[in-house]
Amino acid sequence: MFRVRRFCRRPLAALAAAVLGLSVLPGAAQEVVRSQQAAFRVEVLTDRLENPWALAFLPDGRMLVTERPGRMRVVEADGTVGAPLAGVPEVYDRGQGGLLDVVLDPDFSSNRLIYFTYAAPVEGGATTRLARARLGETALEDLAVLFTAKTPGSTSRHFGSRLAFGPDGLLYVTVGDRGRDDTAQDLAWHSGKVLRLTRDGAPAPDNPFAGRPGALPEIFTYGNRNPQGLAVTPWGAIWAHEHGPRGGDEVNVISAGSNFGWPLVTHGRAYSGLPIGEGQEKPGTEQPIHVWVPSIAPSGMTFYDGDLFPAWRGDLFLGALALTHLNRLEIEDGRIVGEERLLEAFGWRIRDVRSGPDGMLYLLTDEDDGKLVRLAPAD
């Protein structure tokens, strides 16, 4: 099965590229792609990553990449892929589980600390876990497990999990509902929630449910299905996106104590086609600021803050796993006013997207021969 999956995907990308007159060779600068607001080249830096999940930029120009099967690698700026780092803990590599997101400590330049999430094997199944380590040259050092989510652990789906440091210096962590939608409304579980933690993994002391009997103190928002995108806006708010069921993927503005409704309200339907919950709105729940019907299966999320594409500055970019493309949401005055779908011809399942410190956009594709892709200005 591994070989069939690996070699079936290459011809699709190659066929799309041939139609467009593009090259898909690693390191190749492809023909110019013209979009609504920018012209750019698609540069495949490498295709030697196995199901890469997340990307973080190091101060020296290199990149830290996680691979879902349980490896973490340093990739050079030219796309040269390093050997797997030692010291990565055992992951639950089944279904949607594995090694997930990674971010640098805000003081990384002085302390070399990184934070990452993974699906961890536990008694009865698996759960989402947060760890911290010091990044050495060839290994993770001083590994510490900071937090283990209380979730029902019998399924291999909906782990979340994205990380972001907020303007308050606290760490926001998303946890999926683990395929048990009833737990998303239950404050006794971490599943179906956005959590807010200190750098040591403790609940932030002013979290909205701190001190409430029966509620877990780490919870910041609830009623989330499977959030796989999290980013801080240029004006300091926190936005997240999450997978809907059959339709109903959402972008939400995260605020303390918010209930985003799942599974009581949704803009999607069950996979059987039957309705879910009580409709699309309910008093006491928050409405999304953007919805996709049908689902695009969003993953990864970044606000473009570079100077190389002036027309994109401040716009929101995210990957799409089902309707394979790079999604651009145009932002004006904090509102989504337009949508554009880029790179559809390539057929790539885009798992992560990040705005690089060099002003270019970087993508990871979810494949056995996963790619690290850079969008560079046409000029």
Give me the active site residues, please: 158
Tokens of 337: 């006013």
Rounded distance, CA 152 to CA 190, Å?
9
DSSP 178-199: TT-GGGGG-TT--TTEEEEE-T
Asked whether the bond before 294 is cis by omega within 30 degrees of 0, the reply is yes
Rounded distance, CA 379 to CA 32, Å?
9
Report yes or no: 351 and 321 within 8 Å, Cβ to Cβ: yes
Amino acid present at 4: V
Cα dihedral 47, 53, 57, 63 in deg (nearest 10) = -40
Which residues partner with 88 through β-bridges? Answer: none
Rounded distance, CA 342 to CA 324, Å?
9
Instruction: Identify which of 339, 305, 304 has the alpha carbon closest to the alpha carbon of residue 323.
Output: 339
The widest CA-to-CA distance across the chain, in whole angstroms, is 62
Asked whether the bond before 245 is cis by omega within 30 degrees of 0, the reply is no
Q: Is the dihedral of CA 16, 21, 22, 25 positive or negative?
A: positive
**Residue 171 CA from chain centroid, whole number:** 15
